[in-house]
Amino acid sequence: MDPRSLFEGKRITVMGLGLLGRGLGDTLFLVHCGARVTVTDLKSADDLAPSLERLQGLPIRLKLGRHDPDDFINADMILRNADVPRTSPFLQIARDNRVPVEMDESLFCKHFTGNVVGITGTRGKTTTTTLIYRILSEQRPRVFLSGNIMGRATLPLLEGALTEDTVVLELSSWQLQGFHDERISPRASVFTNVYPDHLNRYSGMEDYIQDKKAVYRYQKGSDFCVFNGDQPETAALADEAPSSKLFFSVGDVPQDWDIKLLGRHNRENVAAAVVLCRRLGVPEVIIREVCEAFTGVEHRLQWLGEKDGVGFINDSTSTTPVAGLAALNALEGRRVLLIAGGADKNLDLSAFSAEAASRSHRIALLRGQATAALERGIRGAGAGEKITGIFNDLRSAVFCLVEEAEPGDVVLLSPGCASFGMFRNEFHRGDTFISIVSEILGSRAGTKHSAAFEP
């Protein structure tokens, strides 16, 4: 299809430019299609400088640091960034004035006639999505990766993806709100798991899970969804699915496969990809070959290298206590020097605190609203002496732990908390850690680098 026919001459307000590249990609695409674009964001021009640099010289109206009601009234469409709460009064202004509110991924799926694979869940989305994409890419001529992937706007695929192509989308709970609005679901989907998350934005778990359900809620009889059969809470959701149901378990990955990813949680991610790709008709030999070659995704238990026998692992996308627990469990048998703490998502930190107290040799805490509760939990577990301090910057935390590290130790960044406040996002936190570790590693001569930790 010609996307220009959808957008040319339309007054479109892009609500939320952001810094992850998706809002930027959508904006550039809409301008390319001849839309009359207004970009509005509550962040300042200084905050958005990396994104705004790409928009220089383009015919775009900018409203930064505030929203103007007129931009939600005198418009033909609002393109809402997933980070914008659905309860925003400005979105209500648009609805009251019968201005359609759209979201990137659901707007794409509404018009795309090809095959869409959607992956959601609390943890493991990016790893599972990326692995599925790589497996399908070995079998099919053209496969695209997008959704909740940094720097990947989905809407521009309307111009490049054809009916015979496959688009693999990672979908967050917020992105799936748009699917509820349109009453559509991907034809093939995966629900990796469900744990408490984003409770600073949701009224409770039921509200959070309800958004996730859009990944299967509107499927047809010929569609299917793969659920986590090892987690009762996720498996129970299958009763509501109107389509075919499949289940994955760690046992779906043969024991003799040489899986590089560390931890049971990653074996679950591989199992999800295996079951879905088998259902899509991918030969077993291809699935095995790709799974055994896959070394993971940046910022997720990412092995950065070692210096003087001390290893460094970047698990910055550990933004929940469950993720922090998974990282510590994956490193069982290694002496861990942990960097944890950060911003609050209204999640229970008690289990992570207890595990950090038990499994860690030393703990450096990053200052943030959730850190006080994490510290109390660690001290309450009798491990207060393991805490080296509460740090205002990541660099100081890293070097403090390095001073105490011995050969065989692992310095692990797995905060178990959100990043905002000290960092722009969890990727900025991870990139900062990578930069600090690169300085420590020096020339990297003789250092092994991989996306996954190999003990």
Over residues 299-342, the pLDDT tens digits come to: 999 999 999 999 999 999 999 999 999 999 999 999 999 999 99
pLDDT digit string (tens) for 341-396? 999 999 999 999 999 999 999 999 999 999 999 999 999 999 999 999 999 999 99
| Residue 145 bridge partners (DSSP) | 168
Average pLDDT, the chain: 95
* Nearest Cα to Cα of residue 63 among 45, 50, 81, 80: 45
Confidence category of residue 446, pLDDT binned at 50, 70, 90 = very low
Q: Residue length, the chain?
A: 455
Indicate if the pLDDT at residue 445 is higher than 70: no
DSSP H helices in 246-306: 264-279, 284-293
Rounded distance between C-alpha atoms, residue 361 and residue 401, angstroms = 10
Gyration radius of the chain's alpha carbons: 22
Rounded distance between C-alpha atoms, residue 53 and residue 48, angstroms = 9
In sequence order, which residues have a C-beta less than 8 Å from that of residue 392 and are 6 or more positions away?
367, 422
- Global pTM value: 0.92
Q: Which long-range contacts (CB under 8 A, 24 or more apart) does 291-295 make?
A: 291/131, 291/135, 291/253, 291/257, 291/259, 292/257, 292/258, 292/259, 292/260, 293/260, 294/130, 294/131, 294/134, 294/260, 294/261, 294/270, 295/260, 295/261, 295/450, 295/451, 295/452
pLDDT the model gives residue 454: 34
Q: Which tokens in the block code for residue 292?
A: 């055994």
Indicate if the pLDDT at residue 448 is higher than 50: no
pLDDT digit string (tens) for 109-127? 999 999 999 999 999 999 9
Q: What domains does the chain contain, in order, with CATH numbers?
A: 4-99 (3.40.50.720), 106-293 (3.40.1190.10), 302-441 (3.90.190.20)
Q: How many CB atoms lie within 10 A of CB 448?
A: 11
In sequence order, which residues have a C-beta less than 8 Å from that of residue 399 and are 6 or more positions away?
436
**Full strand arrangement of the beta sheet holding 302-307:** 302-307, 310-314, 410-413, 336-340, 360-366, 387-391
Determine the straight-line distance between the first and last CA of the chain, rounded to whole angstroms: 49
pLDDT the model gives residue 13: 98
pLDDT the model gives residue 20: 87
* Structural contact between residues 102 and 72, judged by C-beta atoms closer than 8 angstroms: no
Least confident of 63-67, 286-290, 293-297, 448-452: 448-452
The residue among 453 and 21 whose pLDDT is bigger is: 21
Indicate if the pLDDT at residue 152 is higher than 80: yes
